[in-house]
Amino acid sequence: MKAVNIKESHNALDTMLTGFTNSGKNQTILLGRRLLQQKNDLMKLFDLYYRDPKQNATTRLVEIDGPVAEVFRYNPTDKPRLPIYIKQLIDTAARRSLTVLTNIQVLRRQMTEQGMTPSIAEIRKDKTQLKITGTALLTERGEYVMTLPVRESLLLLILQNHVSNEPSISIPLSGIGDAKDHNEVTINIKSVKRKMKTSRNSGTFQFDMNLRLIVDITSMNFYYDIQKHDAKLGDQIAKELQTQLMSLVQKCQSQKIDPFGFGIYARTYQYPAWKKVEDQWGAAFADAKVQISTHVKINAYGVTQ
């Protein structure tokens, strides 16, 4: 079925179905990557949802890595009905901080907010099942830029201060423990506290972010006397985590997108300078200097130490 807009597609469905199409019960909107790669304003596609009060403002948005038709034809015998299954898949991944949870209302806020670029969950269908593959990052007009894998999606949520339900992450460490290579510690992040300082230096924006994390050790693949050297281990975890966070920020700066919301702080604390670049914030953020200081406090080492 082909239609010019969403409302026309509803009418077309009513010509083929015996039931009545109720748009207020929409669970999820699937967006193909090819659609998001077109140079169109994504807000125009969803104009109906923002004008019609009968529409569901909490409808989830997800980008499909691959043909959308494959997802529609997916009919597993051991899963709930497809609309319910996809919604539950997104919600579960978001609760575990594996991806972002973006609905129609959140998308509008992100796209009208000049100090932040949108991000939505991404799904791919492999041979046997659907799986969350991470987070799709978009431009201010809703065009697809790149995908963050699940690991980097958690880092994105840390920088956004949207971490929930004690997510787990494995941190590679070097120069610590009894092995030379492949030392790794797995932690549960119990809480994250973020402080931001915004300034101007030599005509560019400067952001100093201070992150304080409280974590639990859940797994270590090397011997280490944690009780004797817990501060050193915490410093090593903080150092590696800081490196990964900075790498993610620099990756986004190279694409001139700001899914973290640094621009919101620029507008709040440096408004005169922000006003000059508000329409080109992506380019201004690409030139900005970002410094992240990470501090980790180990709360628990596990039952067996």
**Where is the domain boundary, 148, 170, 189?**
148
Going by C-alpha positions, the residue among 159, 74, 174, 53 that lies closest to residue 123 is 74
d(CA 40, CA 224): 54
Antiparallel, parallel or unpaired: β 144-148 and 168-173: unpaired
Question: Which helix (H) or strand (E) is 207 found in, with range?
Answer: strand 204-220
| Tokens matching residue 52 | 């019609």
Answer yes or no: do 137 and 175 share one domain. Answer: no
* Domain that includes residue 40, residue range: 1-148
Cα separations in angstroms, 233 against 6, 25, 210, 229: 54, 50, 19, 6
d(CA 62, CA 119): 10
Answer yes or no: do 294 and 195 share one domain. Answer: yes
Answer yes or no: do 199 and 297 share one domain. Answer: yes
Would you say residue 154 lies in a domain? no
Answer yes or no: do 168 and 292 share one domain. Answer: yes
Q: Report DSSP state, residue 5.
A: S
Would you say residue 304 lies in a domain? yes
pLDDT tens for the chain, residues 1 to 305? 676 777 777 777 777 777 776 666 788 999 999 999 988 788 888 888 888 787 778 899 999 999 999 999 998 888 999 999 999 999 999 999 999 999 999 999 999 999 999 999 999 998 889 999 999 999 999 999 999 999 999 999 999 999 988 999 999 887 665 555 678 889 999 999 999 999 998 889 999 999 999 999 998 877 777 766 667 888 999 999 999 999 999 999 999 999 999 999 999 999 999 999 999 999 999 999 999 999 999 898 877 65
Cα separations in angstroms, 62 against 84, 89, 170, 248, 270: 14, 11, 26, 22, 34
**Where is the domain boundary, 102, 127, 148?**
148
CB-facing half-sphere around the CA of 101: CA atoms within 13 A: 18
Give the chain's domain count. 2
Answer yes or no: do 15 and 134 share one domain. Answer: yes
Here the CATH number for the domain that contains residue 178 is: 3.30.300.210
Question: Which helix (H) or strand (E) is 157 found in, with range?
Answer: helix 150-160
Output the furthest CA–CA distance in the chain (Å, rounded): 73
Give the residues across from 172 on adjacent strands. Answer: 184
Answer yes or no: do 209 and 292 share one domain. Answer: yes
d(CA 296, CA 55): 44
Q: Which residues of 66-101 are buried (b: 16+ CB within 10 A; e: fewer)?
A: eebeebeeeeeeeeeebeebbbebbeebbebbbbbb
Burial class (CB in 10 A: 0-12, 13-18, 19+), 217: buried
* One-letter amino acid for residue 141 of the chain: R
pTM for the whole structure: 0.91
Answer yes or no: do 181 and 140 share one domain. Answer: no
Answer yes or no: do 42 and 102 share one domain. Answer: yes
Would you say residue 95 lies in a domain? yes
Would you say residue 155 lies in a domain? no
